[in-house]
A and B are shown apart, each in its own frame.
Chain A
Amino acid sequence: MKKLRNFFWDGSHTILKKRIVILQLAIMIVLASTGNLYSAVGAGSADQQAVQKKISGTVTDGTGKPMPGVTVSVKGMAIGAFTGDDGKYSLTVPETAQTLVFTFVGMKTQEVLIGSQNVIDVVLKEESVGLEEVVVIGYGTSKAKDLTAPISSVKSEDLVKRTTASAMDALQGNTAGVQIISTGQPGANPTVRIRGVGSLNNDSPLYVVDGMFFDKIDFLNPNDIQEMSILKDASGAAIYGVRAANGVVLITTKKGKLNTKTTVTYSGYAGFQTPVNMLKMANGKEYAAMEVDKGVASDLAHVTSSVAKFGGSGVNPSTSTDWYKEILRKEAFTQNHSLELAGGSEKAAYSLSLNYLFQDGIMDSKNSYERYNIHGQTDFQAYSWLKVGYNFILTNYTTFAPNNSAFLYAYLSSPLYPVYDETNTTAFPDKYASSTSIGYANGAFSNPVAAANYYYDRTKGFQILPNIYAEINLFKNKLKFRTQLSEKLASLSDLVYTPAYYVDAYQMSTDKISHLKSVQERFTNYVLDNLLTYNDAYGKNHWTVLLGQSARDERWRALKGTADNVSGIHDEYMYLDLSNSDNRTIDEDGTDYRGLSYFARATYDFASKYLLTATIRADGSSKYQQKWGYFPSVGAGWVISEENFMKDQHLFDFMKLRASWGVLGNDGVPANNGFSSYTTGTGASGIFNNYGTSSGTYVNGYVTQNFYRDLDWEVVQEWDLGFDFTMLRSKLSGTFDYYHRMTSKLAFKKPQPMGAPDIYGNWGKVLNQGLEITLNYRDKAGDLVYNIGANVTTLKNEVKDINGLAYIATGTSEFPTRVEVGKPVYYFYGYQVAGVYQNAAEITADKIGTDNGVQPGYLKYKDKNTDKSLNESDKVNLGSYLPKLTYGFNFSLEYHGLDFSMMLQGQAGNKILNMNRARRLWYSDMNGDRNFVTSLWTGDGSTNKYPSAYATTQGWNNQASSFFVESGSYLRVQNVQLGYNFIVGNTESPVKCRVYMTADRPLIFTKYNGFTPEIGGTGYDTNTYPTAATFSIGCRIIY
């Protein structure tokens, strides 16, 4: 027992602590040495530059207030200073210095020629929010104000504010049109949906990280992200053709800049996660009362057996195990450290960073996520006409996945038996108590603590993302050619080990021996891009033309083996060949898809007033019989504020109308063979001669699969109408968009009759439409700067065509969903509950009641067609898992060095099927949430909402109905941060510091009867990993 605990737990903590110490030491050394280096260089140059002069001055804002913390630097030199509290600065510069640059977040950067001046006072103006900002678009960049597409640009600061392991988690509630559903499980990927669900196969966006395609970006440290753009509509995304239908998230990682002094940045936080808003389960007493009330002998026996075995009297057992408390940690540690170095000379710019993240899981077992990243990048101006460079991100991670079924058991298991039971003599290695000891006979009531601990699932993986590029200036900076090769080289090794254990016949390792599964996977993908860009102007006409060609290959191969009887005492023993049994299996799988594309984009504007964008991509894919697809888009913009008739008004600073249309593809549809196939091996070979002493032998066989059909990618046609504005002297800014996305060639598996395999085809149409509104107000009251922002997205999802089928039955057969024309995808289907039968008279008066032998305390279902019989035609649409409304609010205050921010996030209009409660259909003896167990019907008039204890055991009450479909609306306090910014050291070599405290996801407001209303998939709450709040302190030091 001791050994096992060691193996699962203690060892790693020690290692962990050591790692933290080493890392902190490394950071200190690096900080110290770079500091010295820099001052040495500075001193040296001062000696050589004998002629120096001192410049000083004051920086104020538009209202005349002094501005502290403004960066003052000499252009092209590694010299700089900050303004003090009074807005004053002073700087010693060489004679050769020509220009001073004043920068401050939220203000327009200002450059001032030094000339002969010794005192330079500057008034900084506020930046027109975001408009001059350059945003990343597909295969290029654009000024935000010139866009014809709704592209959300996410700031790096917003990403690092959240203490999440993955960058996409940090986006939750941040951006209109983007729905994020995250779980609390360390290392798990959030569900990301952009503008609804237009596919029944794959609704995740495409991620493009420095040119390489990904389907998730969990490998990235948010600290390494420089810019993130979300291409939501066809005009923005169509340049990514067949991969773009679910939106595109473009990410560029941090880069050094030419002619900048070296900066060293450390940022990090440490804190703990704690389960919050936990659902209250019924305790022993409450559960026992329900079991007694059922009036069923076998249920009563659980109560009396508990009393007999574990104490208590009569029907009052003294045992009351809170299983969630037993399997959860109160405080799970988390930390994140990042050290960056960036700078640039005249010919080369570089950046280098090292990141470390550790997140312990809140399940009290071997359950954590640890990740290292190294990111490096260098750009060289090799010749005046040639720029070359490389970029790489190395990721190395270790995930210990929890046994999620422990959460299921914790919900279902009776509180009437304890965690340990020394009299359970057959149990080994630990004396865990068995649910069978008080009469349960189903693995679903297994001991949750044993389930959590007898489990080991370690994935170690690494990924290298290198890319190399050359950019050739062919003609006067107007005609450029760029070629880039990006690769993803990744490998992972997953060991799933089940030790030999026994708790009872329903909870044991198969055959009471240990089992090992080892999975090795490798990914070798590449993308080769060749781009030719031409931009020019003639008078007020400006245009850009992009021609591109791209080839890609995505290869995956996996080898899986299993073995029995492997010793798991040490990780080093976990090898398949150390098995002492012949029972080994091996499996291999792989895919290889290629793509070849040609694309073009033209943008044109007249006087920055009339904007036009057109793109087209021709995509070839090896995945389907149909090889080529064409994806065009057009976008137009009218900047009304540039018109003469707008010159005299002062309400709006900027105003733009946009319209766009385009076609996108989704090749997240399974590949199509287009031929009949067959399988061989033991799964297709009969076993014969199980006779006498022989255990039988295989006779080689095969089974053919003759059902196939030509399958193709899905096609989305999207319209977008948008309006961007800033007004009230740039204090208020906003964006409105209406989107209309029609997926045609919707691919789905058409179920076939008679057990034939479902066949895929492009058979349907589904429409997503809605509004996206983003508003931001930023102003000052004295020294107090405040900002209020909000974003709201509406979604209406409707199936338009499913090839003449009345409906497609989906979900589980007991609690089904349906896909049906005129309804949202996967809507919940079942009876509407009208109340509870209160007495015998009510039943006698109701034909449905008498026909089905119901009793008082049973649920009463609505007879929709009033034909006095309850059948299929009385089942109705009980709502959809898709929220009709998602929203986010943020609020921030800045006062001198202090800042405070708060972010809220929520959704409304979606439904959740509470499978936790619905499981009573299968497990009538299960425990339940306190609200359910203590609200049961106990007699005439007691409740019209909940059935009686006895009724909960009866199939009638456990049919798919509105009883199990609950609202998933919630409002969450997503993030609260309090920070203080200050400067250490002298103005010659200042160190900018920020310390902050963060509470991440501390509070949620919801009526949902479950652990979290954030449910992925199609809305079945099958008891996911509870979400935890994270409380942390952190700091950021820039030198």
Chain B
Amino acid sequence: MITMKRLRYYSIILLAVIASSCTGFLDKLPEDTLATESIDYTDLSLMYEPVSGIYRMAESENPGFVHWMDFGIRGVRGDDLDKGSSASDQSTLTDIKYFHNSYAAVESFWGLNNSWNDYYGLIIDANSALEELDKFAANIPPSDNTELELNNRYQAEVRFIRAFAHLVISREFGDVPILTDNNALTTVKKSTVEDIRKWISDEMDYCIAHLQDCRPNQATPVGAVTKYTAYLLKAKVCADIAGADNSSTYWDEVLTATNAIMDSHLFSLYGDYYNLFKYSGRLCDESLFELQFGTENDVQPGAFWAFQGPRGDQHGSSISGWGFMTPSSDIVTFLKNRGDKIRLKTTVLYCDTATMTTGPHAGIKYGVTPSNDTIWNNTDGVKYFNGKAYLPTSDMYNKSASYGERNNVRVLRYSDVLLLNAEAKIRKGSSGDGPLNDVRGRAGLTPITGATLANVLDERRAEFACEWWGERYNDLVRTGNAATALSSFGFVAGTSEYLPIPLSQKAYNVNLQ
């Protein structure tokens, strides 16, 4: 039994050896996670990747520009859009529309915090992408001017998106932080509305110097922002700074920037205003910035289109949605009164202009769109739906596609350039008739001679009616017309302009209180 006894002890020793030989057993990389350390920054063919990532983030909901609620907040203030849906659905948007900014329910509203996080989340990602570009830049030989300039161009694309996000958030909340350092999230201080715009203007100077000199639809990759997109953003923030002060030197800046775009002769208005917003109008020669989407499930703007789609029993039609953000009777009357037929048919979808006489739906009211889709009535009393969000069945890649699928979200257009140019000219005492009438002509309207500021502002309202960036409300605020135009909603100059910074954000950063 000696051998047996030995076997006994040998086995123990063996197991002890096995057990103690596990050095490095615990040193293990996490599964399914890529460390940035593994990125090869010397491989300059990867240099555009962080930039492409930022476009993708801008096209997303969270973070990004297209969350349905964020549009709800951007769009509901003003006189173009009603909240829509049923009265009690997301009723805090109604509080926002009526400028009940002091209500506790508004300050703690989830939607406010949502939009704040969506825009700043994008800004944070942009800051990270710029750090990535710096890492590539560090690997470019000083002599390689081509790659260095390419790196500058890429930085400029990211900086444009970052600047635009700052503009959108400042139009909503007023004085907010300029965030260029991701380590300062809890300490960053607010900047004034004016300082934010000045900073954007400076950022655009960098972008203008480095971005591609072409239309976005000529750019590489197709649809990237170019020098002229930066010019337009510069013009817009300068107009914001100048406000109603015709003597402001910022009107010269508006003029210079818009002239630069017009003088390039690259851009032209898309002839068919109605189709500008449909599938064929994507990235046309009028486009300066669009958020692009595809047919793949994962590149959709969430519920952005469905949010605005026709409400009620649509009897099997894909032209259907939640029925929010509907054209107000005010904008319908406004367009009708000025005989703005093309813009009216583009902006407004009707659902109760006729009554079905035969078939299973006899007795039900409906409307027919210019593209021959039927829109059925609803029991919530919603009369109009947003026509600019409408993608006809004929434009769908298959008949059962979801509403709006594969259409792009339009952001910046050449008509804005022309109207800002006209406005600047008039404010500076010269004639704005030329650019104004270009815009009117495309909409099928007769030219105006000796156009006034009011003519331009009316034209802006009609041209951008019911779009997604709060242009109408911003125009009323920057021109000082809000108190009159929005008096029925309770607008008070000096207090109503901006929404309160979300309660929870104030808790994180004392500098926001």
Contact = CB atoms under 8 A, between A and B. Distances in A.
Given A441-B322, A441-B380, A872-B104, A686 B30 contact: no
B185 A753 contact: yes
B52 A589 contact: no
Interface in A709-760: 751-756
A994 interface: no
Interface in A856-876: 870-872
Nearest to A875: B104
Contacts of A583: 296-297
Contacts of B105: 955, 959
Given A675-B36, A872-B108, A955-B105, A695 B295 contact: yes
Interface string B393-413: 000011011100010100000
A378 B53 CA distance: 59
B308 interface: no
A690 B293 contact: yes
Contacts of A686: 51-56, 58-59, 221, 292
A685 B53 CA distance: 5
Interface stretch (B120-128, B205-213, B259-267, B422-430): B120-128
Contact of A699 (B35, B52, B282): B52
Interface in B170-196: 177, 179, 182, 185-186
B317 A505 contact: yes
**Chain B interface, >50% SS class:** loop
A596 B19 CA distance: 9
Given A703-B57, A704-B128, A704-B129, A441 B86 contact: yes
Interface in B27-79: 27-28, 30-37, 39, 46, 48-59, 63
Contacts of A653: none
A751 B508 contact: yes
A809 B110 CA distance: 12
Interface string B380-401: 1100000000000000011011
Contact of A754 (B53, B86, B124, B132): B124
Given A596-B22, A755-B63, A872-B104, A688 B222 contact: yes
Nearest to A512: B400
A911 B316 CA distance: 43
Contacts of B400: 511-513
A311 interface: no
Contacts of A627: 26
Contacts of A318: none
B234 interface: no
B185 A590 contact: no
B446 interface: no
B87 A296 contact: yes
Q: Which of A590, A755, A809: most chain B Cβ within 10 A? A: A755
B379 A683 contact: no
Contacts of A532: 12
B313 A688 contact: no
A313 interface: no
A158 interface: no
Contact of B123 (A697, A754, A870): A754
Nearest to B20: A549
Contacts of A434: 313
A474 B8 contact: yes
A814 B110 CA distance: 7
Interface in B342-380: 360, 378-380
A925 B34 contact: no
Contacts of A590: 31-32
Interface string A649-690: 000000000000000000000010101111110111111111
Nearest to A472: B8
B313 A702 contact: no
Interface string B440-458: 0000000000000000000
Contacts of A688: 52, 55, 221-224, 292
A241 B375 CA distance: 65
Nearest to B112: A813
A701 B53 contact: yes
A439 interface: yes
B138 interface: no
A385 interface: yes
Nearest to A870: B104
B218 to A, nearest CB: 10
A30 interface: no
Contacts of A678: 34, 36, 39
Contacts, number: 299
Interface in A747-785: 751-756
A145 B501 CA distance: 63
A426 B316 contact: yes
Interface in A562-607: 583, 585, 588-596
A586 to B, nearest CB: 12
Interface stretch (B88-96, B236-244, B431-439, B481-489): B88-96
A439 B312 contact: yes
B295 A809 contact: no
B424 to A, nearest CB: 31
A954 B88 contact: yes
Contacts of A595: 26
Contacts of B507: 806
Given A695-B397, A696-B293, A813 B113 contact: yes
B296 A682 contact: yes
B125 A703 contact: yes
Interface stretch (A101-109, A207-215, A297-305): A297-305
A481 interface: yes
Given A510-B402, A511-B398, A682-B296, A699 B32 contact: no
A703 B39 CA distance: 12
Interface in B271-319: 282-283, 290, 292-299, 311-318
B298 A753 contact: no
B116 A754 contact: yes
Nearest to B379: A439
A481 B186 CA distance: 57
Contact of A423 (B33, B360, B406): B360
B151 interface: no
Contact of A687 (B116, B292, B504): B292
A297 B381 CA distance: 8
A491 interface: no
B379 A301 contact: yes
A690 B406 contact: yes
B320 A622 contact: no
A756 B182 contact: yes
B49 A702 contact: yes
Nearest to B509: A753
Contact of A685 (B56, B58, B122, B381): B56
A204 interface: no
Contacts of B91: 954-955
A685 B51 CA distance: 9
Contacts of A806: 507
A530 B19 contact: yes
A701 B121 CA distance: 17
B118 interface: yes
Nearest to A688: B221
A706 interface: yes
Contacts of A530: 15-16, 19
B258 interface: no
A745 B30 CA distance: 22
A1005 interface: no
A506 B129 CA distance: 39
Contacts of B52: 684-686, 688, 698-702
A386 to B, nearest CB: 8
6 contacts: A438-B379, A591-B31, A622-B26, A703-B125, A707-B182, A756-B120
Closest 7 CB pairs of A and B: A755-B121, A701-B52, A686-B55, A439-B379, A755-B117, A426-B316, A436-B313
Given A441-B85, A530-B19, A753-B512, 13 more contacts: A441-B86, A470-B11, A505-B317, A511-B402, A512-B400, A583-B296, A590-B32, A678-B34, A683-B56, A689-B292, A691-B217, A702-B53, A704-B129
